[in-house]
């Protein structure tokens, strides 16, 4: 593949043909490609052609791409994708071109999206039905930070287990990207929030987001503490994106007929188990939801995206964009995320 530098060097010879230079540069882009699955080192910075559009797609010039834990699963191969692929599935930017069938967006529109692989790049071809307009007053960085984690927190508290005022909820990794948004949304509904966090600093952030109680689960027993905070009654729902290391104790801190919403496995996948345990622990409910199924229709996608953007505009939801990396620093972003060094949102900017 011809590199950016090589193209520019070659163009030095013909630099007076400025139009020609633009023509060539426009068709080559930088991207972070996974050519084989593995650790952060497999995230390769490459120069590749800008994707060609299908009739239903729009070309988005990306301003900021969200980094999410799901990108780690794809990079590792835990979630399989045909190789080679461009990692990342959340971004915001500007439409530069549209396919022949696209009527909903036009060049110049500011848009954001999630759940389309290929956002760690300068450009992405995105099905128009996945794009939402970014309202005035919301920056591209805010939109990129809000889409995937914001809509996740939204479906978890409004749809998977519709949380009610006065209920008690346990949120794991409460200072993380999804965690900080979940805490705020649960508090806005009027629930009592118990959070867990891996350090004092993270506990402080979770409290600032509204958590009533925070357990530092790396040094405290979250089962004993949750029982203490609820007077032995247990919580109505556990929202757990940590998985392997928390799952067993989650079953012990729920009230009878409580809900365990397992939405991720940052510490690893939960091993197989017999469902009889749900009966023994109090006729519990277990679900393993994913955002894709909660934004499957255009109506549902628009409802959640609009709600989240409105909450941000009205400052009912505060984003914490804590870590901004350049595209070429994607490896570092993954190391920090997996190393539990991050809080709130990570972005790659272009
Ligand atoms: P986070 O910012 O929450 O980062 C993960 C956090 O998990 C860490 O900061 C850490 O917080 C905690 N953690 C606990 N144990 C480990 C471990 N062994 N290794 C790494 N981290 C650990 O990430 P996201 O907000 O992007 O995602 C959170 C979870 O939500 C993930 O599991 C993700 O897959 C899931 N998710 C699921 C979606 C769905 O629709 N199902 C959609 C979006 C995200 P601490 O140090 O405080 O313990």
* 307 conformational bin, left if phi > 0, alpha if psi -120 to 50, beta if neither: alpha
Q: CB–CB of 268/246 below 8 Å?
A: no
To test the ligand 1 pocket, which listed residue (195, 206, 241) has its Cβ within 8 A of the most ligand atoms? 241
More confident residue, 2 or 279: 279
Helices and strands counted in the chain (H then E):
12, 16
Dihedral (CA of 201, 202, 203, 209) sign: positive
Ligand 1, atom 11: closest residue by C-alpha? 173
Look at residue 2 and tell me whether its pLDDT is greater than 70: no
Look at residue 226 and tell me whether its pLDDT is greater than 60: yes
If pLDDT is split at 50, 70 and 90, which confidence band does 26 have? low
Q: What is the mean pLDDT of residues 281-292?
A: 98
Look at residue 17 and tell me whether its pLDDT is greater than 90: no
Q: Which option is the CATH number for 165-292: 3.40.50.300, 3.30.1490.20, 3.40.50.720, 3.30.70.3340?
A: 3.40.50.720
Look at residue 28 and tell me whether its pLDDT is greater than 90: yes
Q: What is the mean pLDDT of residues 170-181?
A: 98
Closest CA to 309 of 66, 143, 184, 168: 143
State which ligand 1 atom lies nearest to the alpha carbon of 218.
Answer: 48
Look at residue 293 and tell me whether its pLDDT is greater than 60: yes
To test the ligand 1 pocket, which listed residue (243, 264, 286, 343) has its Cβ within 8 A of the most ligand atoms? 264
State which ligand 1 atom lies nearest to the alpha carbon of 289.
Answer: 41
Q: CB–CB of 337/67 below 8 Å?
A: yes
Look at residue 4 and tell me whether its pLDDT is greater than 70: no
Domain-by-domain residue ranges, the chain? 26-147+297-336+345-349, 165-292
Say if strands 345-349 and 57-67 run parallel, antiparallel, or are unpaired: antiparallel
Q: CB–CB of 187/210 below 8 Å?
A: yes
Q: What is the pLDDT of residue 11?
A: 41
At 24 the three-state DSSP class reads: helix
Residues near 54 by beta carbon (within 8 Å), at least 6 away in sequence: 99, 125, 127
Task: Reply yes or no on domain 26-147+297-336+345-349 having CATH 2.40.10.500.
Answer: no
Q: What is the mean pLDDT of residues 24-33?
A: 84
């Amino acid at each position: 593949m011809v590199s950016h530098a090589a193209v520019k060097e070659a163009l030095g010879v013909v630099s007076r043909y400025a139009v020609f230079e633009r023509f060539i540069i426009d068709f080559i882009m930088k991207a972070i490609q996974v050519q084989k699955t593995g650790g952060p080192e497999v995230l390769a910075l490459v120069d590749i052609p800008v994707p060609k559009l299908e009739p239903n797609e729009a070309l988005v010039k990306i301003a900021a791409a969200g980094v999410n834990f799901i990108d780690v699963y794809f990079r590792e191969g835990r979630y399989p994708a045909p190789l080679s692929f461009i990692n990342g599935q959340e971004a915001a930017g500007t439409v530069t071109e549209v396919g022949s069938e696209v009527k909903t967006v036009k060049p110049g529109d500011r848009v954001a999206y999630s759940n389309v692989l290929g956002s760690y790049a300068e450009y992405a071809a995105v099905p128009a039905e996945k794009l939402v307009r970014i309202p005035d007053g919301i920056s591209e960085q805010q939109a990129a930070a809000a889409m995937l984690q914001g809509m996740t927190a939204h479906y978890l508290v409004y749809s998977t287990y519709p949380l009610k005022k006065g209920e008690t909820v346990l949120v794991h990794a409460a200072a993380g990207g999804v965690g900080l948004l979940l805490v705020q949304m649960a508090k806005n509904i009027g629930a009592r929030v118990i959070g867990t966090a891996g350090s004092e600093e993270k506990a402080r952030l979770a409290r600032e987001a509204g958590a009533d109680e925070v357990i530092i689960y790396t040094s405290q027993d979250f089962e004993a503490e949750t029982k203490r905070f609820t007077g032995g009654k247990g919580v109505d729902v556990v929202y757990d994106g940590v998985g392997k290391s928390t799952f067993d104790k989650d079953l012990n801190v729920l009230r009878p007929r409580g809900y365990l919403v397992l939405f991720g496995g940052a510490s690893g996948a939960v091993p197989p188990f017999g469902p009889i345990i749900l009966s023994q622990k109090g006729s519990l409910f277990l679900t393993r939801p994913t955002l894709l199924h909660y934004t499957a229709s255009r109506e549902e996608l628009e409802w959640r995206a609009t709600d989240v953007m409105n909450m941000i505009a009205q400052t009912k939801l505060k984003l914490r964009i804590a870590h901004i990396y350049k595209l070429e620093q994607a490896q570092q972003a993954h190391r920090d995320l997996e190393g539990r060094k991050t809080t709130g949102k990570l972005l790659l900017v272009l």
